[in-house]
Amino acid sequence: MIQYRNGLHCTARILKTEGIKGLYRGATPSFVGMAVEGSLFFGIYSQTKVYLQGGVQSGEPRPQVIIPSAAFSGAIISFVLGPTDLIKCRMQIQGTDSLVPKSSRYSSPLDCALKTVKAEGVRKFCNILQNLILAIL
Number of domains into which the chain is organized: 1
Q: What is the mean pLDDT of the segment spanning 108-125?
A: 85
Q: What is the mean pLDDT of the segment spanning 107-115?
A: 88
User: What pLDDT is attached to residue 104?
Assistant: 79
Residue 1 has pLDDT above 70, yes or no: no
Whether 95 is in a domain gets the answer: yes
Residue 45 has pLDDT above 90, yes or no: yes
Whether 98 is in a domain gets the answer: yes
User: What pLDDT is attached to residue 105?
Assistant: 84
Whether 2 is in a domain gets the answer: no
Whether 1 is in a domain gets the answer: no
Whether 52 is in a domain gets the answer: yes
Whether 94 is in a domain gets the answer: yes
* Domain with 36 in it: 7-136
Whether 59 is in a domain gets the answer: yes
CB-based contacts of 10: which residues, under 8 Å, 6+ apart? 4
- Number of Cβ atoms within 10 Å of the Cβ of 125: 18
User: What pLDDT is attached to residue 53?
Assistant: 87
**CATH number for the domain that contains residue 55:** 1.50.40.10
Question: Which DSSP string corresponds to 106-117?
Answer: -SSHHHHHHHHH
pLDDT band, residue 129 (cuts 50/70/90):
low
| Average pLDDT for the chain | 81
**Per-residue pLDDT tens for 73-99?**
988 887 777 787 888 888 878 866 677
**Per-residue pLDDT tens for 59-77?**
777 888 999 999 999 888 8
Percent of the chain exceeding pLDDT 90 equals 13
C-alpha to C-alpha distance for 100 and 89, rounded to whole angstroms: 13
Buried-state track 85-108, b at ≥16 Cβ within 10 A, e below 16:
ebbbebbeebbeeeeeeeeebbee
User: What pLDDT is attached to residue 131?
Assistant: 64
Question: Which DSSP string corresponds to 30-96?
Answer: HHHHHHHHHHHHHHHHHHHHHHHTTT---SS--HHHHHHHHHHHHHHHHHHHHHHHHHHHHHHT-ST
Whether 41 is in a domain gets the answer: yes
